[in-house]
Amino acid sequence: MGIPHLLLASQSPRRRELLALLELPFEVQVAQVAEIPQAGEPPHGLVVRLSRDKARAVDARPNTIAIACDTVVALDGELLGKPRDAAGATTMLARLRGRSHAVYSGITVLETASGRALTDVVEAQVLMRAYSDAEITAYVASGDPLDKAGAYAIQHAEFHPVAELLGCYANVMGLPLCHLTRSLRAWGIEPVGDVPAACQARTGCQCTLYATILGGQ
């Protein structure tokens, strides 16, 4: 049937940008899935369920591999989703300031014809710097926090909110590329580009994890 068609089930420009680093052709389709936690649902369970639901929700042509991801922020076990408004973003950023939290991404790669899927859960620990109230106000005024879990982008050049990261930078951005590459290889799909090199060049983060991840661990 030839090389499978790749379909990214996401409206996120950050995920599109990261997926493009694989140098494989793909199309984008927004998955209409309500991102609502179930009662008592842990963060890793939520991202698994939502990434699978998103992969299954797209209307795909034959011979398609759907790629879907969901990312959440958890502070002391409490989920911090996307803020509803500027006030909510301000509150979230104030709560995160100077503290560590967890970022979870669930990434599902689904063969639409058979329904066969692989799902990974990726966790990172993030320590935020002690930014000022004035910095929060300026960042919120930019509008950047409003479509992001936890109300921040790790890659934002002016705000640069993160002091220390333990884990995958691309995971915190919303699409852990080495985990995705590992799953795509299960269908015989190999990225054209050097994924670790491209990711490090894009993020500016020197990664020490890629060899372990791509080695299957």
Please provide the average confidence, as pLDDT, over all residues in the chain: 93
Q: Is the dihedral of CA 199, 16, 120, 42 positive or negative?
A: positive
Segment (H or E) for 15: helix 13-20
CA-derived radius of gyration, the chain: 17
pLDDT of residue 208 exceeding 90, the answer is no
Average of per-residue pLDDT across 25-40: 90
Task: Give the pLDDT confidence score for residue 128 in this predicted structure.
Answer: 98
Domains of the chain by range and CATH? 5-214 (3.90.950.10)
Read off the pLDDT of each residue in 124-151 and give the average, rounded to a whole number: 96
pLDDT mean over 60-75: 92
Return d(Cα 16, Cα 11) in angstroms, integer: 8
pTM equals 0.92
Structure tokens that stand for 5 in this block: 């068609």
pLDDT per position as a tens digit, 70-129? 999 999 989 998 899 999 999 999 999 999 999 999 999 999 888 999 999 999 999 999
Measuring CA to CA, how many Å separate 126 from each of 76, 87, 153? 12, 23, 12
CA dist 90 → 26, 40, 135 (Å): 36, 26, 10
Give the mean model confidence (pLDDT) for residues 35-63: 91
Q: What percent of the chain has pLDDT over 70?
A: 98
* C-alpha to C-alpha distance for 199 and 64, rounded to whole angstroms: 25
* Active site positions, annotated: 70
CA atoms within 13 A of residue 196's CA, in its CB half-sphere:
11
Task: Give the residue-averaged pLDDT of 123-146.
Answer: 97
